Amino acid sequence: MRNRLRRSAWQAIGGAALAVVVVSSSGSPEVHPQLASSVQSMKQEASALTQRIAALNSQVQSISAHYAAVEGQIRQLQGKESTVEATIAQKRRLLKKLHGEIVAEAVSLFAQAGTDSQVLSVLQDNPNASALAQEDITTASSTQEQAVNAYQAVQQQLTNQESQLRADQSQQASLLSLLSTQEAKAQSAQQQASTELSGVNSQIQQMVAAQLAAEEQARQAQIEAQQIAAEQAAAARQAAAQQAAAAAQQAAAQSQGSGASPQQQGSGASPQQQAPTPVAPSPAAVAPSGYANPLRAIGNLQVERVDQGVDYNGYGPIYAIGDGVVLSTFNGGWPGGTFIAYRLTNGPAAGSVVYAAEDINVDVSVGQSVTPNTVLGTLYNGPDGIETGWADGSALGETMAMSYGQFYGSNTTAFGYNFSQLLASLGAPGGVVQNSPTGSLPGGWPQW
């Protein structure tokens, strides 16, 4: 079903970016609503899968906790086994002692009652024959009766304890087997959902890439149209200038005594045609700090919370803040696996490490030098968006907020708030603060 859904969604946009982009009456490119609807639908499916994975993860954790509890009960039972086994051994010794007493009494009884006494069966060490010995109790001494009764009572206790121990062991083993099966099923379902989510994210990336390519081609077409219009306008101006020059020369010829030469009269009306200048992306607007807004080209930028760093969503290229060197591009502990970390080499935060993580297609490599005009990667408007902030530089995917113990799952941290202030100073929108920032910054940390 997943593959069929992806295929139909891709066919819905025609498989070609050129078919989904038009130019509005204002001259700016617009994305066809059908593509936007397809992307939105797939984002909703990705969100549903993410929620399903979270629910399955809770189920697996619950089963694991139950499994651990049962294992604890089994360990207690094993301790109880040792106690029961010691009790059983003690009762066996008691049985042996009681049996000896019965044998001694039986010998005495035999001397009195003769060879046909059924108490002799006890001498054969046959516990089931103790009932036969009861028939001769009336002829036995009180010591014989007490010995036989005690023997039977201890034997019954021993049988009961051994039976209960085996029942407990069987019950716990069955429960462990059931929990193992449930955990395996939940983990399998979780893995399947994760695979589906990976497929959905991949399709979203492809569709957004097609959208960006189509928008770029539309912009190029718009630039070409502007160039043609500029050339036509220049040609019209040149023709008008030539006509004006001709008229001036004619008037000068008719005015012999004016004292002004035709060349002097026409010298201010002969503009030279200039070739139109191609429109190119403007360089980054660098602030006095030496840094630039890394989100300046993100389309449909959506501002989200401040936590370890600052969360955003949208689509388009994300740039480096300043000059630096790339330390890492991947960490499996982050959604999507992307964790671009680069150490700044200029400005007030030189030596500190910046990260951009989650739904980003990487365009840089480890060891590469970057500037504010370097595209680190392309945000593809996935289910998780992006998070950017201060990293601890360990190349292990850790943030400064986490290393300093400031982050507890969703709270605004001092490091995240500081980075939000930096972005705001560069012209980007700051994030949404959840609480009074948790923790504090190290001494000498730059302020913005």
Rounded CA separation 17/211 (Å)? 6
Residues 206 and 306 in one domain: no
Residue 388: give its domain's CATH number: 2.70.70
Residues 108 and 37 in one domain: yes
Domain boundary among 253, 279, 308: 253
**pTM for the predicted model, two decimal places:** 0.43
Instruction: Assess whether pLDDT exceeds 50 at residue 3.
Output: no
263 lies in some domain: no
The predicted pLDDT at position 121 comes to 53
Lowest-confidence segment of 21-35, 148-162, 318-332 by average pLDDT: 21-35
Tokens of 174: 């069955």
Instruction: Assess whether pLDDT exceeds 90 at residue 445.
Output: yes
SS3 of 251, please? helix
193 lies in some domain: yes
261 lies in some domain: no
267 lies in some domain: no
Residues 133 and 60 in one domain: yes
SS3 of 37, please? helix
- The total number of structural domains that make up the chain: 2
Residues 46 and 191 in one domain: yes
Lowest-confidence segment of 44-58, 72-86, 103-117 by average pLDDT: 103-117
- Chain centroid to CA 367: 25
The predicted pLDDT at position 385 comes to 92
Q: How confident is the model over 395-441, as pLDDT tens digits? A: 678 999 999 999 998 899 999 999 999 999 999 999 999 999 999 99
The predicted pLDDT at position 49 comes to 79
Residues 337 and 429 in one domain: yes
What's the domain range around 428?
299-433
The predicted pLDDT at position 149 comes to 78
The predicted pLDDT at position 177 comes to 87
> How does the average pLDDT of the chain come out, rounded?
77
Instruction: Assess whether pLDDT exceeds 80 at residue 293.
Output: yes
Q: How confident is the model over 166-215, as pLDDT tens digits? A: 888 788 888 888 888 888 888 888 788 878 877 877 777 777 777 777 77
Q: How confident is the model over 226-283, as pLDDT tens digits? A: 778 777 877 777 777 777 777 777 777 776 555 544 444 444 433 333 333 333 344 6
How large a percentage of the chain has pLDDT more than 90?
31
The predicted pLDDT at position 339 comes to 95
**What mean pLDDT comes out for the span 292-321?**
96
Q: How confident is the model over 312-371, as pLDDT tens digits? A: 999 999 999 999 999 999 998 898 899 999 999 999 999 999 999 999 999 999 999 999
Residues 340 and 395 in one domain: yes
72 lies in some domain: yes
Q: CB 196: neighbour CB atoms within 10 A?
A: 20
Domain boundary among 253, 286, 315: 253
199 lies in some domain: yes
26-29: long-range contacts, CB 8 A cutoff, minimum separation 24: 27/222, 27/225, 28/222, 29/214, 29/215, 29/218, 29/219, 29/222
pLDDT band at 307 (very low <50, low <70, confident <90, very high): very high
